Amino acid sequence: MSDLIPVKEVKGRPIPLRGNDIDTDRIIPARFMKAVTFDGLGQLAFYDERHNADGSLKGHVMDDPRFLAKGDRIAVVNKNFGCGSSREHAPQALLRWGIKALIGETFADIFYGNCIANGMPVVTGDTATVDKILAAIEKDPAHDLQLDVEARTVTYNGETFSIEIPDGVRKQLLDGTWDATRVLLSAAEDVKKIADSIPYVSGF
């Protein structure tokens, strides 16, 4: 296992996903949750929102040529994004589509936690701030958006906005301790020492 991976900033083309109460069933329909791994989920993100019954495209923003771009992406959303069931497949599908961070008004708690556990910064702004960011993206989408976790700012096309992220979550991202498995394995020697000192573990 390699060293911890800090997440100090994310930079990439934004994708505006407007709408309140977008739930995890819409983000990744339940019928696609049969795989043992999360591989391939990216192409299925928002599948029913993007496709007709015959598989043809409906014209969803994720397929709009104005917002198509290679590389890392940042989603900008509205209120209560990721509500519904607690499936980890939802942030995994977004991550594999290319979304590496999210900016919005509010997020469902479990979805929020699942994102952080995958190293995806999730930050919030008030309605006016998010509306300004969305409007700027939709007016002129051909720019990268930069999310600075340390400074708690979002910058798009020369304009910088203040955003919010809890101190504990911010510290996890900056320290790289968002990855619980890496944290545990990085302390493997200490864990072994403690285990060896416990009679019912060491075979006493």
172 neighbors 7 (Cβ within 8 angstroms) = no
For residue 143, give its domain range.
9-202
Q: Flag whether 152 is in a domain.
A: yes
Token look-up 């391939």 returns 40
How many CB atoms neighbour CB 34 within 10 A? Answer: 6
Q: Flag whether 136 is in a domain.
A: yes
Q: What is the pLDDT of residue 74?
A: 98
Could you tell me which of 16, 9, 3 has the C-alpha nearest to residue 68? 16
Give the model confidence (pLDDT) of 8-19 as tens digits.
999 999 999 999
| Helix/strand number for the chain, H first, E second | 9, 7
Q: Flag whether 168 is in a domain.
A: yes
Q: Flag whether 143 is in a domain.
A: yes
Q: Flag whether 159 is in a domain.
A: yes
Look at the chain and report how many structural domains it folds into.
1
Q: How far apart are CA 153 and CA 176, in angstroms?
A: 19
Q: Strands 159-162, 153-156: parallel, antiparallel or unpaired by DSSP?
A: antiparallel
Q: Flag whether 2 is in a domain.
A: no
pLDDT over 90 at 196, yes or no:
no
Q: Write the CATH number for 180.
A: 3.20.19.10
Q: Flag whether 98 is in a domain.
A: yes
Q: What is the pLDDT of residue 197?
A: 78
Q: What is the pLDDT confidence band of residue 189, given thresholds at 50, 70 and 90?
A: confident
Record the pTM.
Answer: 0.87
Q: How far apart are CA 134 and CA 76, in angstroms?
A: 7
Half-sphere exposure for 101 (CA within 13 Å, toward CB): 25
Average per-residue pLDDT in the chain?
91
Q: What is the pLDDT of residue 132?
A: 98
Q: Flag whether 1 is in a domain.
A: no
Point out which residues pair with 122 in neighbouring strands. 102
